[in-house]
């Protein structure tokens, strides 16, 4: 039986995450044309893990995918609206990894009182478009060859001053969501 986990990221995960991310660079699926240097990537993980959130999926202690949040490019000062990015190892596509990562991140965003998640997808990537639509994202806008999809979250608190950072989310709620998410992954 395979050991499966979906969890928060730490800087030690940088090398394995970069291996998953590198094949996406230089394509419309990633915002960068070249893979970042490892040290730069680790600094990025440190910066965003505690502010917005990064999650990792593992099977038998091997990274099979990860996701993270970024500021909303169209409204960067809006703390309640974020962009969701996800990267899955090619051999683990359609094996529940994306669903597991989205499930846990959605739970964390709602517990943290975020209101909206956006995803930017290449119009010529029917697999990614189908994934996001199956997760409940709705077409929102288009830019050049990019389809912007929107997911309206159900925040835990109606009008907080600011969202709760992911690492401050109640550990009991996080643990149960984490276990449920790991159960969604179907190992090879």
pLDDT in tens, the chain (188 residues): 899 999 999 889 999 999 999 999 998 888 899 999 999 999 988 887 777 889 999 999 999 999 999 999 999 999 999 999 999 999 999 999 999 999 999 999 999 999 999 999 999 999 999 999 999 999 999 988 899 999 999 999 989 999 988 878 877 688 999 999 999 999 99
For position 118, what pLDDT does the model report? 97
Residue 86 lies in a domain: yes
For position 109, what pLDDT does the model report? 94
Report the distance separating Cα 114 and Cα 140, nearest Å.
18
The CATH number of the domain where 147 resides is what? 3.40.630.30
Residue 188 lies in a domain: no
- Domain carrying residue 153: 4-182
Q: How many domains does the chain have?
A: 1
For the residues of 69-101, what is the DSSP string, one character each?
EEE-TT-TT-TTEEEEEEEE-GGGTTTTHHHHH
């Amino acid at each position: 039986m395979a050991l499966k986990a979906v969890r928060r990221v730490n800087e030690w995960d940088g090398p394995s995450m970069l291996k998953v991310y590198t094949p996406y660079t230089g394509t419309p699926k990633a915002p960068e044309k070249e893979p970042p240097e490892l040290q730069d990537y680790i600094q990025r993980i440190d910066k965003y893990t505690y502010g917005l959130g990064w999650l990792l999926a593992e099977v038998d202690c091997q990274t099979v995918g990860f996701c993270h949040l970024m500021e909303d490019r169209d409204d960067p000062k809006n703390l309640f609206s974020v962009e969701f990015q996800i990267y899955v190892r090619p051999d683990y596509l359609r094996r529940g990894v994306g669903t597991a990562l989205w499930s846990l991140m959605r739970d964390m965003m709602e517990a943290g009182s975020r209101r909206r998640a956006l995803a930017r997808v290449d119009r010529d990537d029917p697999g990614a478009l189908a994934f996001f639509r199956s997760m409940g994202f709705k077409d929102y806008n288009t830019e050049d060859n990019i389809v912007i999809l929107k997911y309206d979250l159900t925040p835990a608190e109606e009008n907080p001053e600011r969202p709760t950072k992911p690492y401050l989310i109640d550990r009991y709620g996080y643990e149960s969501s984490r276990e449920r998410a790991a159960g969604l992954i179907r190992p090879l």
